[in-house]
């Protein structure tokens, strides 16, 4: 065995890094996604760019978004929401995906140009063949100069099958979850918390300038097209301003926006806290709260 290969093998043994093809079995957690109804993507979303790269299927219940050398693609919710449960089951492109960004996020930047709120799940392609990184980020009341990014490796290959990516946002806290495992929580505070109604966005786009190692590895369109597939979209929240209820799918165990104010959604259980601790210890590799070279004075919530 040559020395470089031996070194790589030893690193994989000692660190069990996901980039080495080693994946983990996550802790058991409640399946919150089972409590919220699916919605029709066709009824709840409108196209905003790259119409030729948007393919709705199964009577509007599933979706393919494509990135090629001509364009990415994106949808925006037809309504704005003031708090809610937002989830999408996503299968990511396989192969060499550096620079590719698949995003599921909330924002009101179109309305509040200088004081917008945003809650981001961004799935970033990687320079290794099967690696994807999940980046979470938040802005509140126009704090656009203070990014609050945290980055994690995933404990599975997200290009093999669908996985759930979820945002819970209510007056108590904001939680990011992957396959129902919490990976990050921000509790409400007056100093920093998204507070204004936001739209839901679903996009795929070229993030060559920043997404992979600060732009070191741009999108290589020799491997295009890149296709991200979505299904089981879930939205349960307070529409702002209130409108008539849009029909949902056959899931009927939950139908009211008040659901996201229930006990399962307003506070993490000890089981969920333990699972979040597992994810943060084992898989988080960047947090703005530890980036003292970027922030001479850390944001107040880091304390």
- Rounded distance between C-alpha atoms, residue 169 and residue 171, angstroms: 7
- Rounded distance between C-alpha atoms, residue 271 and residue 234, angstroms: 23
Enzyme catalytic residues: 118, 122
Containing 62, the helix (H) or strand (E) segment is: strand 62-67
Residues paired with 163 in a beta bridge:
90
Residues paired with 87 in a beta bridge:
166, 234
Interacting residues of 239 by C-beta distance below 8 A, sequence separation 6+: 79, 80, 81, 82, 257
- DSSP category for residue 292: T
CA torsion sign, 228 to 201 to 156 to 126?
positive
- Rounded distance between C-alpha atoms, residue 84 and residue 291, angstroms: 30
- Rounded distance between C-alpha atoms, residue 61 and residue 51, angstroms: 17
């Amino acid at each position: 065995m040559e020395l470089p290969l031996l070194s790589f093998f030893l690193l994989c043994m000692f660190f069990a890094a996901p980039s080495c093809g080693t994946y983990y079995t996550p802790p058991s957690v409640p399946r919150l996604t089972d409590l919220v109804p699916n919605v029709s993507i066709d009824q709840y979303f409108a196209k905003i760019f790259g119409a030729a790269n948007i393919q709705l299927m199964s009577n509007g219940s599933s979706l393919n978004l494509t990135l090629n050398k001509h364009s990415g693609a994106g949808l925006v919710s037809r309504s704005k929401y003031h708090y809610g449960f937002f989830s999408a089951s996503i299968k990511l492109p396989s192969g060499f995906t550096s620079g590719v960004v698949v995003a599921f996020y909330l924002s009101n930047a179109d309305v509040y140009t200088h004081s917008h709120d945003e809650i981001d799940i961004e799935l970033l392609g990687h320079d290794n063949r099967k690696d994807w990184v999940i980046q979470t980020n938040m802005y509140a009341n126009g704090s656009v100069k203070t990014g609050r990014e945290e980055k994690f490796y995933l404990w599975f290959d997200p290009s093999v099958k669908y996985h759930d990516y979820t945002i819970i946002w209510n007056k108590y806290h904001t939680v990011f979850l992957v396959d129902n495992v919490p990976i990050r929580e921000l509790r409400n505070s007056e100093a920093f918390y998204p507070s204004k109604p936001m739209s839901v966005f679903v996009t795929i786009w070229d993030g060559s300038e920043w997404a992979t190692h600060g732009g070191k590895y741009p999108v290589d369109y020799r491997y295009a097209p890149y296709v991200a597939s979505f299904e089981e979209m879930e939205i349960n929240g307070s529409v702002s301003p209130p409108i008539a209820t849009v029909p949902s799918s056959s899931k009927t165990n939950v139908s009211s926006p008040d659901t996201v104010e229930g006990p399962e959604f307003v506070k993490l259980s000890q089981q969920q806290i333990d699972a979040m601790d597992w994810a943060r210890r084992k898989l988080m590799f960047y947090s703005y709260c530890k980036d003292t070279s970027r922030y001479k004075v850390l944001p107040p919530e880091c304390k």
